[in-house]
């Protein structure tokens, strides 16, 4: 995916002088970016010169261009839509047929993907699969019916333009009444910004996978651990991590050493502010539009009621904190109390930085910004080399091509060491597993002797009830996938007729990523038959968490017992996990299926899914 000549030249092309130079200094904008939260709209009051507009209607013109920006004190060039960073908020209505006329004024090919929307394959916006892309100076008309409602987003799918600013919120109001009552409605779009050429970031990672990990353990840490745990335990821990060729502080490929974290385009000092009046219920539509960053979000002093995930309604659950994977969305209701201001606090997973915004009764107010929690250290449990309660799991390093993991178990071809979905049918007619305890995981033959695979899961488990590294036992009620339950039953109703198992694979030191050890440019498409109901099982053989996105069709996540649980468009896969979801292949054509960490996708963790109308058709 990253070999096309335009991918190597886009950043240089954008660095040329732009015809319309506008600057925004995020560090000097405290209180400047304000949302009024008008019901049925996302409104901007006194705001940044690049604050996104709200566009409504069924025929909308969008212009992709470039602008000079200054978010950090350093001049950079962003990819903008209609001159705004982030792109305009699109406010549409379920049941309408929309036309989105996208003109590309960049000197390189561009595109827009409508993330999570059900639409014809030719409208999906992935160059090389859906269409050829939008050439410089050309316009492409996207037109499709809106078959759903909820909180979604849109972003570029060309030349890493998503990292450069080509992303925006997409809100679809229901054709009928809302399920929940609220008086204010705010989009909270999280993202990561870099002043650097994203191709340079990726090149750095390919040369040194932990280049941006500036929080690695030191000799002082070793002495501290020895005093706490004893020298034998401290040295054994260092040896174990050395055998796995990974660092326990390696929680994110790119940290705050290269990123500034934004909410609705504002830096923490910029302090985007959403307004409320006393006694109101406020709907917050959280969208993770980052390229590479997981965010842990809380609002000190407020509990949140989750009402939707990835645009789809869920049974309400009250929480205090949640982790939002890249590309996921989460809608919550909050009811501010007597305080005039509350901080929306979104830390990155490695705790090297944060995004911050404010809910307030008027512009200019701010609440205290809480201290960032201590940087968590990965443990053998996090790597699948221990257990989470009753959910055992193991992961073994692959020392070199041709060798098995340290456990001595031969890694041979096959699906699971146990068939997670074989056996009897439960009362609903859906396949139920035979074994409650994970058995030894086997692996595809393509992982064996593979220089692009440095780790394999031995005993992966779903771990849907695990809040994740850095969030366990913190004294707050943290959302887990196990808490998310759709308000509806399995919309298809059929038991899956076919299983596909895919392993998430990679090599951190070489910085290569893949499915089943096969990078995109060497992989055959996954073929689905139009109308079939099938199960996809993902096994994370790597030490990183991956948000996996299937275009064009829903991913119906199953619970640990193989029953339908919640409908999503992006499913996050922590290390050492095995999770399954159901897909109804109801959308003919060629679709993308990939990790939504931008640099992982660009490095090979991408597959084509081809839904064919009949066997042998093309």
State the pLDDT at residue 28: 30
Give the mean pLDDT of 573-578: 94
Sign of the alpha-carbon dihedral angle for 31, 161, 210, 447: positive
User: What is the spatial distance between Cα 586 and Cα 118, in angstroms, rounded to a whole number?
Assistant: 10
User: What is the spatial distance between Cα 56 and Cα 461, in angstroms, rounded to a whole number?
Assistant: 44
3-state secondary structure of 61: strand
Among residues 344, 202, 337, the alpha carbon closest in space to that of 261 is found at 344
What DSSP state is assigned to residue 203? H
State the pLDDT at residue 486: 98
CATH value of 390-612 in 2.60.40.420, 2.40.50.100, 3.40.50.1000, 3.30.1330.10: 2.60.40.420
Q: What is the pLDDT of residues 370-413, one digit of tens each?
A: 988 877 766 666 655 544 333 344 455 554 343 333 332 233 33
Written as one string, the DSSP assignment of 536-563 is EEEEE-SSS-EEEEESSS-EEEE-TTS-
Q: Which two tokens stand for residue 593?
A: 């299926």
State the pLDDT at residue 230: 76
Q: What is the pLDDT of residues 154-213, one digit of tens each?
A: 999 999 999 999 999 999 999 999 999 999 999 999 999 999 999 999 999 988 656 455
User: What is the spatial distance between Cα 90 and Cα 78, in angstroms, rounded to a whole number?
Assistant: 20
Confidence of residue 459 (pLDDT cuts 50, 70, 90): confident
Give the mean pLDDT of 48-73: 87
Confidence of residue 99 (pLDDT cuts 50, 70, 90): very high
3-state secondary structure of 602: helix
State the pLDDT at residue 24: 33
Alpha helices per DSSP H over 479-525: none
CATH code for the structural domain at 5-180: 2.60.40.420
pLDDT for residue 587 is more than 90: yes
State the pLDDT at residue 146: 98
Lowest mean pLDDT among 200-214, 298-312, 353-367, 575-589: 200-214
Q: What is the pLDDT of residues 505-548, one digit of tens each?
A: 999 889 999 999 999 999 999 999 999 999 999 999 998 999 99
Q: What is the pLDDT of residues 124-160, one digit of tens each?
A: 999 999 999 999 999 999 999 999 999 999 999 999 9
pLDDT for residue 456 is more than 90: no
User: What is the spatial distance between Cα 490 and Cα 511, in angstroms, rounded to a whole number?
Assistant: 38
Share of the chain above pLDDT 70, in %: 74
Where do you find CATH 2.60.40.420 in the chain?
Answer: 5-180, 390-612
Q: Is 16 exposed, middle or buried (0-12, 13-18, 19+ CB in 10 A)?
A: exposed
Give the mean pLDDT of 239-265: 77
User: Do 125 and 136 touch, CB atoms closer than 8 A?
Assistant: no
Helix-strand-coil split of the chain, %, nearest 5: 10, 35, 55
pLDDT for residue 111 is more than 70: yes
Widest CA span in the chain: 68
3-state secondary structure of 228: helix
What DSSP state is assigned to residue 223? H
User: What is the spatial distance between Cα 475 and Cα 484, in angstroms, rounded to a whole number?
Assistant: 20
Q: Which two tokens stand for residue 204?
A: 């750095």
User: What is the spatial distance between Cα 103 and Cα 55, in angstroms, rounded to a whole number?
Assistant: 16
State the pLDDT at residue 249: 53
Question: pLDDT averaged over the chain?
Answer: 83
- CB crowding 508-532: b at 16 or more within 10 Å, else e: beebbbbbbbbbbeebeebebeeee
Give the mean pLDDT of 250-260: 86
Q: Is the peptide bond before 86 cis (omega within 30 degrees of 0)?
A: yes
Q: Which two tokens stand for residue 564?
A: 């339908």
3-state secondary structure of 343: strand
Give pTM, 2 decimals: 0.85
User: What is the spatial distance between Cα 333 and Cα 208, in angstroms, rounded to a whole number?
Assistant: 42
First to last CA, the chain: 22
Give the mean pLDDT of 119-127: 98
User: Do 481 and 518 touch, CB atoms closer than 8 A?
Assistant: no
**Residues whose CB is less than 8 angstroms from the CB of residue 19 and which lie 6 or more positions away in sequence, other chains included:** none
Give the mean pLDDT of 230-244: 62
3-state secondary structure of 589: strand
User: Do 285 and 188 touch, CB atoms closer than 8 A?
Assistant: yes
What DSSP state is assigned to residue 406? T
Q: What is the pLDDT of residues 260-306, one digit of tens each?
A: 999 999 999 999 999 999 999 999 999 999 999 999 999 999 999 99
State the pLDDT at residue 228: 75
User: Do 91 and 178 touch, CB atoms closer than 8 A?
Assistant: no
**Residues whose CB is less than 8 angstroms from the CB of residue 539 and which lie 6 or more positions away in sequence, other chains included:** 416, 441, 457, 460, 501, 502, 503, 504, 577, 578
Size of the chain, expressed as the number of residues it contains: 618
User: What is the spatial distance between Cα 225 and Cα 237, in angstroms, rounded to a whole number?
Assistant: 10
Give the mean pLDDT of 330-337: 97
Angle at 346 between CA 342 and CA 352, to 5 degrees: 130
Q: Could you tell me if residue 475 is left (phi over 0), alpha (psi between -120 and 50 degrees) or otherwise beta?
A: left
State the pLDDT at residue 496: 97
Tokens 């909050």 sit on residue: 334
Q: Which two tokens stand for residue 603?
A: 């490095």
Tokens 């809106």 sit on residue: 146
Question: Which DSSP helix (H) or strand (E) runs through 222?
Answer: helix 219-229
Q: What is the pLDDT of residues 317-326, one digit of tens each?
A: 999 999 999 9
């Amino acid at each position: 995916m990253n070999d096309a000549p335009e991918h190597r030249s886009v950043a240089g092309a954008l660095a040329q002088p732009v015809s319309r130079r506008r600057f925004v200094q995020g560090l000097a904008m405290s209180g400047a970016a304000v949302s009024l939260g008008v019901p049925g709209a996302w409104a901007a009051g006194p705001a940044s010169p690049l604050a996104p507009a709200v566009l409504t209607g069924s025929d909308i013109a969008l212009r992709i261009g470039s602008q000079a920006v200054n978010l950090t004190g350093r001049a950079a060039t962003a990819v903008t839509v209609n001159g705004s960073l982030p792109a305009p908020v699109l406010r549409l209505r379920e049941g309408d047929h929309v036309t989105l006329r996208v003109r590309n004024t960049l000197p390189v090919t561009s595109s827009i993907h409508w993330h999570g929307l059900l639409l014809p394959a030719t409208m999906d916006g992935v160059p090389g699969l859906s269409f050829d892309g939008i050439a410089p100076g050309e316009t492409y008309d996207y037109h499709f019916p809106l078959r759903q409602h909820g909180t979604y987003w849109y972003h570029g799918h060309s030349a890493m333009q998503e990292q450069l600013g080509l992303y925006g919120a997409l809100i679809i109001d229901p054709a009928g009444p809302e399920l929940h009552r609220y008086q204010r409605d705010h989009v909270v779009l999280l993202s990561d910004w870099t002043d650097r050429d994203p191709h340079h970031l990726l090149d750095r990672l390919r040369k040194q996978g932990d280049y941006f990990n500036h929080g690695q353990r030191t000799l002082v840490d070793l002495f501290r651990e020895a005093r706490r745990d004893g020298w034998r335990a401290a040295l054994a821990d260092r040896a174990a991590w050395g055998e796995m060729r990974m660092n326990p502080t390696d929680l994110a490929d790119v940290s705050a050493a290269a990123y500034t974290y934004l909410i609705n385009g504002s830096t923490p000092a910029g302090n985007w502010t959403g307004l409320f009046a006393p006694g109101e219920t406020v709907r917050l539509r959280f969208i993770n539009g980052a390229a590479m960053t997981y965010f842990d979000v809380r609002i000190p002093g407020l509990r949140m009621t989750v009402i939707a995930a990835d645009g789809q309604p869920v049974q309400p659950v009250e929480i205090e904190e949640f982790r939002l994977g890249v590309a996921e969305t989460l809608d919550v209701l909050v009811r501010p109390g007597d305080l005039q201001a509350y901080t929306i606090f979104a830390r990155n997973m490695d705790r090297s930085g944060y995004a911050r915004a404010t809910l307030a009764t008027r512009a200019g107010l701010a609440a205290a910004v809480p201290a960032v929690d201590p940087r968590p250290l990965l443990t053998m449990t996090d790597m699948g080399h221990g257990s989470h309660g009753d959910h055992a799991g193991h992961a073994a390093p692959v020392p070199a091509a041709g060798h098995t993991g340290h456990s001595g178990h031969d890694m041979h071809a096959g699906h699971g060491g146990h068939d997670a979905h074989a056996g009897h049918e439960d009362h609903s007619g859906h396949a139920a597993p035979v074994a409650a305890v994970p058995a030894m995981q086997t692996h595809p033959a393509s992982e064996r002797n593979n220089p692009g695979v440095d780790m394999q899961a031995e005993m992966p488990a779903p771990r849907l009830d695990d809040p994740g590294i850095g969030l366990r036992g913190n004294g707050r009620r943290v959302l887990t996938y196990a808490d998310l339950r759709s308000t509806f039953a399995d919309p298809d109703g059929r038991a899956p007729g076919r299983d596909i198992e895919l392993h998430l694979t990679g090599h951190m030191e070489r910085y290569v990523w893949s499915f089943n050890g096969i990078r995109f440019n060497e992989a055959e498409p996954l073929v689905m038959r139009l109308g079939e109901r099938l199960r996809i099982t993902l096994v994370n053989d790597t030490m990183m968490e991956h948000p996996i996105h299937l275009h064009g069709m829903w991913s119906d996540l199953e619970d640990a017992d193989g029953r339908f649980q919640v409908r999503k468009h992006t499913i996050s896969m922590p290390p050492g996990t095995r999770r399954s979801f159901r897909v109804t292949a109801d959308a003919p054509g060629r679709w993308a299926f990939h990790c939504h960490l931008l640099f992982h996708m660009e490095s090979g963790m991408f597959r084509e899914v081809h839904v064919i109308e009949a066997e042998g058709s093309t």
